[in-house]
């Protein structure tokens, strides 16, 4: 069937205006924020307003073998939401209702398109807190966070998105609407299919509604700031904090290159102070929190901080963390950012940072770094060069970093997801037997083969 006919037929199954074919609009949905990831041309963008419209779309696509690429805000960094030729882009952005916040049960029910920060604000009004805080929180949706099992700054103490997903509604298979998981605090009936959907990057179905576990309001945080002469010194401080038994509520690393990018944008003067900034926080209340702050400061000093202090000014501490969150968009102002997302055991952070420096030297490129250092999740990154020869060297350096992370017992993606860019890494990390298990599960739950096909564990050359 020619594609125009298909789109017309799909349009008849949905209310007017839900299927968009204007080529310019469709092109605007063609890719996420992963620089250099390939993308194709979609047939159409579908913007459902409710689960029934998602169901109708999935049923139609299953009937006609049309691939579906689900999409939240498109802030992903691995090409997971990139269009495939002849696909339907299913944008959940219009399904943005906060259905319920239940203070007594400490849970929220939200549609997939709710923006992370909007949910966090709504929870705060009830004295509740939804912890997962990816740097994209002002824009990214809970549905997208669920698809990638998003992390963030507070994960080092409070875990990632999967730890907060109690249940969900999804459209699966050939258009069945199912509820997975639960609303109760505990429950062990059957397989954890809810947890399986989290982080499956749209390859197993379309998540339409999510039931999230919440926490009570976070206690006030104390902040420790340190500047270091080198990445490895800062890495030693991170390792020392872990060994001292402190679980910080955040432990973030930003290097001079990233600080300069923020300075250039926001005029904060951050880069004047040193090469590498380390920001530690604790939200443990009372004397125990005081003690943890002292311990962190001592760890910073002993690891060779050129300057370190307890921040006594909340506004200043907030500004530093705001700068950390702005590092990625600040770099994006300078050009498409190529980023890695390796995660290594915490004690090996200094070793991994040293290996990143070596990979840069070996391939004669400059690699910048931001990191959720406290959980070993490092983001070496670079502004994609125009020069093709330089780009080849960058890619070689990044391949070396991936190999090093795996050699240290790490993973190729700590929080960004596999999408298109990390497929080769996935195969190296998991090996053929585990990939075969993935394929078996994918084939079992996606019999029509329509959900984001080729992403995650598809062949990297496809």
34-93 binders of a copy of itself (CB under 8 A): none
In the range 100-119, which residues lie near a copy of itself by CB under 8 A? 103-106
* Binding window for a copy of itself (CB under 8 A); candidates: 27-35, 268-276, 384-392, 415-423: 415-423
**Could you tell me whether strands 337-339 and 222-228 are parallel, antiparallel, or unpaired per DSSP bridges?**
unpaired
3-state helix, strand, coil in the chain (%, to 5): 40, 20, 40
Identify which of residues 141 and 363 has a Cβ nearer to a copy of itself in the complex: 141
Say if CB 57 and CB 10 are below 8 A apart.
yes
Dihedral angle computed from the Cα positions of residues 31, 37, 41 and 46, in that order, rounded to the nearest 10 degrees = -30
* Distance from C-alpha of 354 to C-alpha of 348, rounded to nearest angstrom: 10
Identify which of residues 71 and 422 has a Cβ nearer to a copy of itself in the complex: 422
* Binding window for a copy of itself (CB under 8 A); candidates: 20-28, 197-205, 298-306, 383-391: 197-205
Verify binding: residue 460, a copy of itself, rule CB under 8 A.
Answer: no
* Distance from C-alpha of 368 to C-alpha of 258, rounded to nearest angstrom: 7
Identify which of residues 112 and 241 has a Cβ nearer to a copy of itself in the complex: 241
* Distance from C-alpha of 81 to C-alpha of 395, rounded to nearest angstrom: 22
Query: Residues 47, 222, 281, 346: which binds a copy of itself (CB under 8 A)?
Result: 346
Q: Count the alpha carbons within 13 Å of 53 in the hemisphere toward its beta carbon.
A: 19
* Distance from C-alpha of 414 to C-alpha of 266, rounded to nearest angstrom: 29
Query: Residues 347, 354, 384, 390: which binds a copy of itself (CB under 8 A)?
Result: 347
Query: Residues 120, 162, 256, 455: which binds a copy of itself (CB under 8 A)?
Result: 162
Query: Residues 191, 312, 389, 459: which binds a copy of itself (CB under 8 A)?
Result: 191
CB neighbour list of residue 190: distance below 8 Å, 6 or more residues apart: none
Verify binding: residue 424, a copy of itself, rule CB under 8 A.
Answer: no
Say if CB 47 and CB 26 are below 8 A apart.
no
Verify binding: residue 449, a copy of itself, rule CB under 8 A.
Answer: no
Query: Residues 98, 196, 268, 384: which binds a copy of itself (CB under 8 A)?
Result: 196
Cα–Cα distances in angstroms (integers) from residue 8 to residues 4, 182, 217, 285, 353, in the given order: 6, 38, 49, 60, 53
- Residue 130, classed as helix, strand or coil, is coil
Identify which of residues 216 and 269 has a Cβ nearer to a copy of itself in the complex: 216
Query: Residues 5, 22, 38, 179: which binds a copy of itself (CB under 8 A)?
Result: 179
Helices (H), 83-230: 116-125, 142-148, 155-158, 193-197
| Among 359, 329, 335, 354, residue whose Cα is nearest residue 344 | 354
Query: Residues 5, 85, 176, 264: which binds a copy of itself (CB under 8 A)?
Result: 176
Query: Residues 2, 16, 125, 186: which binds a copy of itself (CB under 8 A)?
Result: 186
Q: Give least dist CB 155 to a copy of itself, A.
A: 6
* Distance from C-alpha of 334 to C-alpha of 310, rounded to nearest angstrom: 32
The H-or-E segment that residue 426 falls in is helix 423-445
Verify binding: residue 310, a copy of itself, rule CB under 8 A.
Answer: no
Verify binding: residue 99, a copy of itself, rule CB under 8 A.
Answer: no
Q: Give least dist CB 425 to a copy of itself, A.
A: 7
Query: Residues 25, 99, 124, 178: which binds a copy of itself (CB under 8 A)?
Result: 178
Q: Give least dist CB 399 to a copy of itself, A.
A: 16
Identify which of residues 53 and 200 has a Cβ nearer to a copy of itself in the complex: 200
Verify binding: residue 174, a copy of itself, rule CB under 8 A.
Answer: no
Could you say which DSSP state residue 271 is in?
G
- Show the binding pattern over residues 356-385: x = contacts a copy of itself (CB under 8 A), - = does not: ----------------x--xxx--------
* Distance from C-alpha of 19 to C-alpha of 22, rounded to nearest angstrom: 10
* Binding window for a copy of itself (CB under 8 A); candidates: 10-18, 64-72, 390-398, 432-440: 432-440
Say if CB 127 and CB 217 are below 8 A apart.
yes
Which residues are paired to 371 by β-bridges? 253, 378
Verify binding: residue 192, a copy of itself, rule CB under 8 A.
Answer: yes
Identify which of residues 196 and 319 has a Cβ nearer to a copy of itself in the complex: 196
Tokens of 420: 């298109």
Identify which of residues 175 and 274 has a Cβ nearer to a copy of itself in the complex: 175
In the range 257-296, which residues lie near a copy of itself by CB under 8 A? 284-288
- How remote is the C-alpha of 292 from its chain's centroid? 28
Verify binding: residue 355, a copy of itself, rule CB under 8 A.
Answer: no
């Amino acid at each position: 069937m020619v594609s125009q006919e298909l789109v017309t037929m799909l349009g008849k199954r949905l209310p007017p205006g839900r299927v968009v074919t204007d080529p310019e609009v469709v092109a605007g949905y063609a890719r996420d924020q992963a620089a250099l990831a390939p993308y194709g041309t979609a047939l159409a963008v579908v913007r459902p307003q409710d689960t029934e419209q998602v169901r109708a779309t999935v049923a139609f696509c299953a009937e006609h073998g049309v691939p579906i690429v689900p999409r939240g805000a498109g802030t992903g960094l691995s090409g997971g939401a990139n269009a495939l030729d002849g696909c339907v882009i299913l944008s959940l952005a219009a399904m943005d209702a906060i259905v319920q916040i239940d203070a007594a049960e400490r849970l929220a029910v939200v549609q997939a398109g709710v923006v992370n920060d909007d949910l966090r604000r709504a929870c705060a009004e009830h004295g509740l807190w939804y912890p997962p805080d990816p740097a994209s929180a002002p824009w990214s949706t809970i549905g997208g966070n669920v698809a990638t099992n998003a992390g963030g700054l507070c994960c080092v103490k409070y875990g990632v998105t999967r730890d907060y997903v109690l249940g969900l509604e999804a459209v699966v298979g050939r258009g069945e609407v199912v509820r997975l998981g639960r609303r109760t605090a505990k429950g062990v009936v059957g397989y954890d299919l809810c947890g399986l959907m989290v982080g499956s990057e749209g390859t197993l179905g379309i998540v339409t509604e999510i039931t999230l576990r919440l926490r009570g309001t976070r206690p006030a945080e104390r902040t420790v700031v340190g500047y270091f002469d080198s990445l490895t010194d800062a890495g030693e401080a991170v390792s020392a904090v872990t060994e001292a038994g402190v679980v910080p509520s955040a432990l973030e690393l930003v290097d001079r290159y990233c600080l300069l990018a923020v300075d250039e944008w926001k005029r904060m003067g951050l880069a004047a102070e040193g090469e590498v900034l380390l920001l530690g926080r604790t939200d443990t209340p009372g004397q125990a929190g005081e003690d943890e702050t002292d311990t962190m400061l001592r760890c910073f000093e002993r690891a060779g901080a050129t300057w370190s202090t307890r921040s006594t000014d909340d506004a200043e501490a907030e500004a530093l963390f705001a700068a950390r969150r702005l590092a990625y968009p600040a770099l994006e102002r300078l050009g498409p950012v190529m980023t890695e997302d390796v995660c290594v055991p915490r004690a090996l952070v200094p070793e991994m940072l040293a290996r990143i420096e070596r990979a840069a030297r070996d391939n004669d490129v400059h690699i910048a770094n931001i990191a959720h250092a406290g959980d070993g999740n490092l983001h070496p990154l670079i502004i994609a060069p125009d020069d093709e020869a330089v780009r080849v060297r960058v890619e070689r350096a990044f391949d070396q970093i991936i190999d090093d992370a795996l050699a240290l017992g790490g993973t190729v993606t700590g929080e960004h997801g596999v999408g298109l860019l990390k497929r080769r890494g996935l195969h190296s990390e998991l090996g053929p037997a585990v990939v075969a298990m993935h394929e078996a599960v994918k084939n079992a739950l996606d019999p029509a083969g329509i959900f984001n096909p080729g992403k995650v564990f598809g062949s990297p050359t496809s």
